[in-house]
Amino acid sequence: MDDISTSALLITLGILLICSAYFSGSETGMMSVNRYRLRHLAQEKHSGAKRVQYLLDRPDRLIGLILIGNNLVNIAASAVATIICIRWFGDAGVLVATFALTFIMLIFSEVTPKTIAALYPERIAFPSSMLLKPMLMVLYPVVAGLNFITNGFMRLLGVNPKAKVGADALSSEELRTVVNEAANMIPSRHQEMLLSILDLEKVTVEDVMIPRSDISGIDVQADVRSIIRQLSQAQFTRILLYRNDVDDAIGFLHARDIMQMVAKNQQDIDKAEIVRAAREIYYIPEGTPLNVQLLKFQRNKERIGLVVDEYGDIQGLVTLEDILEEIVGDFTTNIAPQTSESIQIQADGSVIVEGIANLRELNKELNWSLPTDGPKTVSGLIIEALGDIPDTPLCLRISGYAMEIIEVADNLIKTVRFVPAPKKRKNKSR
């Protein structure tokens, strides 16, 4: 070493510091790269992405290679710096070299390159892989030997080095965060649809069903002419047939079947023929999440079903369209959004709502936060809060929402006035 000039040693030290910065930045860049984007780029035949994916398939080998290179250059840099400082400062040079090299390496070989690599992982990882991949092939025996020793030590500690903890798997909440953070790259309408799909598992069929009291059906016990008139004036393509009461449902009659019967029988249609044309009812257990029911509709090739409780009593009706509207919004020809018929916004800012109005629909249309973890309607929410069917007039506050009961009839709250309409999310405790 005495024959080597100080200037040559300084140049060598500079090269070693650059190599140390390269290894430090490469390690951070490789580990910070977005795995999903990397997989996409690799499928698009991006050469840099394919090299990085190859290296990351065995992260133990990649880390071993980088640490071998990093430790070699750091130790060599320490030795060279010590020699230089001894020449300049004598015996005190060892102490000077220790503190000076630590400071220099922290700034130029650790913090700076790792920060840049964390901010721009692809810009560092892709070019770096051009050197790391051939280095891994050349130093493979050394890397494999090092991994053999470290993996054996990990097994002694009870850790399986080949176990995958599923770091690439995302929960629904994590996917929600990804969608929200990708707002600049995804149109807002598409973003809302994606978030709605993630919400399907939290919403049950009771939240979107048509309540039993609102089911449009035809009593086959009525006069034949009355039945035919109702069939011809029906607004839906599928009509429920029942005897006396909805609980004694017979089946669904499709509009196409009605047209075929009319075309086939120019004379009066027999009531028995109408009953025979009814299709078998598809029953849905209450509490079924919408994502599950959507798959069941698809698997069973059904589009409509009756929701029943544990005793078999009919609670409501759900269609495939109801579930799809949870994802894409209401199917309507109007471009401008409109409030539902059960909501009447008054000039003074108050809102009159029907008691049977669905709480989730109110929250969506008016940007409210009424509690939805219990009753599904405004009437049910008030009755649960009071523990009894109230008399009118009566004012109360639930979850920060002031309301006035306007009309009660037939053991049901008919109309409620919210005053004033709240805009901010309130505490849900009652």
Domains and CATH numbers, the chain: 6-157 (no CATH), 172-200 (no CATH), 205-328 (3.10.580.10), 339-419 (3.30.465.10)
Give average pLDDT by consecutive 10-residue segment, the chain, 430 residues: 81 93 93 88 91 89 91 93 90 89 92 94 93 92 88 84 62 79 79 85 89 86 83 82 91 83 68 86 94 94 94 92 85 48 85 88 87 86 90 88 90 88 47
Q: How far is CA 102 from the centre of its chain?
A: 46
- Give me the phi and psi of 132, to 5 degrees please: -70, -35
Identify the pLDDT of residue 49.
92
What is the C-alpha to C-alpha distance for residues 198 and 327, in angstroms, rounded to an integer?
9
Torsion (CA) 225, 228, 234, 237 in degrees, nearest 10: 160
Identify the pLDDT of residue 337.
42
What is the C-alpha to C-alpha distance for residues 393 and 395, in angstroms, rounded to an integer?
7
What is the C-alpha to C-alpha distance for residues 136 and 424, in angstroms, rounded to an integer?
58
pTM of the predicted model, to two decimals? 0.61
Cis peptide bond N-terminal to 420, omega within 30: yes
Structure tokens at 310: 């544990």
**How are beta strands 343-345 and 351-354 bridged, if at all?**
antiparallel
